Amino acid sequence: MHNKYQFQDQVVIVTGAGNGIGRATAIMMAEAGAHVFAGDVKHLEENRETFERLGIVEAVCDVRQESQVQALIEQAIDQYGRIDVLVNNAGIGMVKQIHQVSEEEWDACIDTNLKGTFLGCKHAIKYMLATGGGAIVNTASNAGLLPRAHDPVYSISKHAVVALTESLGLCHGKDNIRVNCVCPGPVGETGMMNDDIARAADPDGLTQSMIRASPIAAANKRMIRPQEVASAICYLASKDALMVSGTALRIDGGKSLGVPPQG
Ligand code: NAD
């Protein structure tokens, strides 16, 4: 992995860091010199060796539980006295039509994707206000930019993450706190995508149709990689993006721009 961005001695928290985009981000930032605190509800055991080697502190953190989000953030504060970067990345999918979604499923999706992002922002901003600023990057989705037919509840949750990002960007610029989000399209080598593909009647057909739906992915004959999203998160969290706040950065190979010209 490359270390284009410098995070020397920066204190970074990443949620949903056990797999996929969050794991790639935690590793990329640690390799760039950050003190990374990685929270997740799963995958801790399988990452232990890699995380220990990179000095990444792992912790059980269910982002739906305020006490656990607060504890993760306070672990970093207790050790370093500040937080420079928070990446609210934990998220789950919800591929169902609205009339098939139970109240529990609605709560699981909204609580993980939206409430978890709110809780991270709430507790990190409290400390960032006291220490002169910081950067927050939320993992939204291109489903947060356009309505989506096959997973409306997921799309609703990610629209709300984009709205939260823009609102907090507006509120906290004066406090030197930048808030941005990434909006990935279909990312391969992630738990979320692997689950979708495993559930499909024609897994290879689904993979190929997702590649075709994104012009740049189609031109390169492959899906987006977790590291390509992590790299964008690193940019938004870095001082290179000092003047960038309230942005929803598409990383979907142009998929959400509309219907491309045919032929
Ligand atoms: P992933 O399943 O590989 O990773 C998600 C991680 O979040 C997992 O390690 C999981 O254990 C963790 N997690 C789930 N619920 C949690 C909770 N309550 N508390 C803490 N951790 C929890 O999938 P991914 O694609 O890397 O997902 C990361 C983010 O990217 C999510 O917010 C997702 O919505 C978003 N995203 C993914 C894609 C994609 O195609 N994979 C596209 C757009 C956006």
ipTM, two decimals: 0.99
**Counting beta carbons within 10 angstroms of the beta carbon of residue 186, is it exposed (0 to 12), middle (13 to 18) or buried (19 or more)?**
buried
pTM over 0.80: yes
Is residue 134 in contact with ligand 1, taking CB distance under 6 Å?
no
Q: What is the CA radius of gyration of the chain?
A: 18
Is residue 139 in contact with ligand 1, taking CB distance under 6 Å?
yes
What pLDDT score does 73 carry? 98
Delineate the domains of the chain, giving CATH numbers in brackets.
Answer: 11-185+227-251 (3.40.50.720), 189-223 (no CATH)
CA–CA distance, 13 with 85 (Å, rounded to integer): 6
Centroid of ligand 1 to alpha carbon of 184 (angstroms): 12
Is residue 193 in contact with ligand 1, taking CB distance under 6 Å?
yes
Is residue 15 in contact with ligand 1, taking CB distance under 6 Å?
yes
Is residue 58 in contact with ligand 1, taking CB distance under 6 Å?
no
Catalytic residue among 5, 80, 127, 154: 154
What pLDDT score does 158 carry? 98
What pLDDT score does 2 carry? 52
Cβ neighbours for 208, distance < 8 A, ≥ 6 positions apart: none
Residue 232 CA, distance from chain mean position: 10
**pLDDT averages per 10-residue partition of the chain, 263 residues:** 81 98 98 98 95 98 98 98 98 97 98 99 98 98 96 98 98 98 97 93 95 95 98 98 98 92 78
User: Do residues 85 and 25 make contact, with C-beta atoms less than 8 angstroms apart?
Assistant: no
The closest residue, in CA terms, to atom 11 on ligand 1 is: 42
Centroid of ligand 1 to alpha carbon of 139 (angstroms): 9
What pLDDT score does 3 carry? 63
Residue 42 CA: nearest ligand 1 atom is: 11
